[in-house]
């Protein structure tokens, strides 16, 4: 609980609160929240597609460019999407960048946030704003740091069947505002598959 309190304090009072990226993310979250009351209904709607809930999980292969040392790392990611048919949902994500290491530098990130999607036939474009933390192992294992990470991104899901979707691709920009050597960023591109749980 103390860790969560410290994270919230860093978000509100730290350098990220003054960055253009955080302000844009806050505006997007605020706008999404304004649209949320339209999701609430006094009665059960007759159509199963109106007001339903869907839970999905999946995995992907990821390639990332890390500003620290201008490194290009590869790895895997896993994600869980909880969404409604009203386009707004939540995504939780973990990414482990362990391949193509130089000097034993590798990164793991864990984030959660809002996801907004639209449907066009079998295609579902989406945008997301996430917040969490990233672990970075410094060269030769001399140090290990944990930092606040703010993520903006989006992508496209293709519905192959009702339960199987292909994620082609997912793109994320990550801001590391409190990195040891000054603010740092990373960009990741992923592709994978998502399975409907219910």
- Of the candidate ranges 2-6, 61-65, 104-108, 121-125, the one whose mean pLDDT is the lowest: 2-6
Is the pLDDT score of 80 beyond 70? yes
Closest among 168, 166, 153 to 195, alpha carbons compared:
166
- Look at residue 198 in the predicted model and tell me its pLDDT: 86
- Look at residue 118 in the predicted model and tell me its pLDDT: 93
Are 66 and 188 in contact, with CB atoms under 8 Å apart? no
Confidence band for 150, pLDDT divided at 50, 70 and 90:
very high
Separation of first and last alpha carbons in the chain: 31
How many angstroms separate the CA atoms of 144 and 147, rounded?
Answer: 10
Domain ranges of the chain: 2-30+53-196
> Percent of the chain at pLDDT above 90?
61
Q: What confidence tens digit (pLDDT) does each residue in 106-128 have?
A: 999 999 999 999 989 999 999 99
How many angstroms separate the CA atoms of 94 and 76, rounded?
Answer: 9
- Look at residue 152 in the predicted model and tell me its pLDDT: 97
Q: Is 7 helix (H, G, I), strand (E, B) or coil?
A: helix
| pTM exceeds cut of 0.75 | no
Confidence band for 52, pLDDT divided at 50, 70 and 90:
confident
What are the angstrom distances between the C-alpha of 195 and each of 22, 59, 117?
Answer: 31, 9, 16
- Look at residue 141 in the predicted model and tell me its pLDDT: 79
Q: DSSP readout, 106-149?
A: EEEEEEEEEEEE--BTTEEEEEEEEEEEEEEEPGGGS-EEEEEE
- Of the candidate ranges 16-20, 104-108, 137-141, the one whose mean pLDDT is the lowest: 16-20
**Parallel, antiparallel, or unpaired: how do β-strands 164-176 and 144-159 relate?**
antiparallel
Q: Is 150 helix (H, G, I), strand (E, B) or coil?
A: strand
Closest among 180, 176, 182, 73 to 133, alpha carbons compared:
176
Q: Chain-wide mean pLDDT for the chain?
A: 81
How many angstroms separate the CA atoms of 63 and 98, rounded?
Answer: 10
Look at domain 2-30+53-196 and name its CATH class. mainly beta
Closest among 127, 103, 124, 100 to 115, alpha carbons compared:
127
- Look at residue 143 in the predicted model and tell me its pLDDT: 87
Neighbours of 169 (CB within 10 A): 16
How many angstroms separate the CA atoms of 193 and 183, rounded?
Answer: 32
Confidence band for 6, pLDDT divided at 50, 70 and 90:
very low
């Amino acid at each position: 609980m103390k860790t969560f309190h410290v994270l919230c304090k860093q978000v509100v009072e730290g350098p990220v609160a003054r960055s253009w990226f955080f302000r844009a993310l806050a505006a997007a979250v605020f706008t999404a929240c304004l649209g949320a009351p339209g999701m609430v209904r006094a009665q059960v709607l007759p159509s199963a597609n109106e007001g339903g809930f869907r839970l999905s999980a999946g995995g992907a292969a990821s390639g990332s460019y890390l500003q620290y040392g201008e490194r290009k790392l590869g790895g895997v990611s896993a994600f869980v999407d909880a969404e409604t048919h009203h386009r707004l949902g939540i995504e939780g994500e973990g990414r482990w960048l362990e391949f193509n290491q130089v000097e034993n530098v590798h990164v793991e990130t864990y984030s959660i946030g809002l996801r907004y999607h639209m449907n066009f036939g079998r295609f579902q474009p989406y945008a997301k704003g996430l917040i969490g933390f990233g672990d970075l192992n410094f060269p030769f294992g001399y140090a290990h740091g944990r930092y606040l990470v703010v993520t903006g991104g989006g992508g496209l899901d293709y519905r192959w069947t009702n339960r199987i979707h292909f994620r082609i691709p997912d793109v994320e920009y990550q801001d590391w505002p409190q990195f040891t050597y000054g603010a740092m960023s990373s960009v990741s591109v992923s592709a994978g598959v998502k399975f409907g749980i219910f």
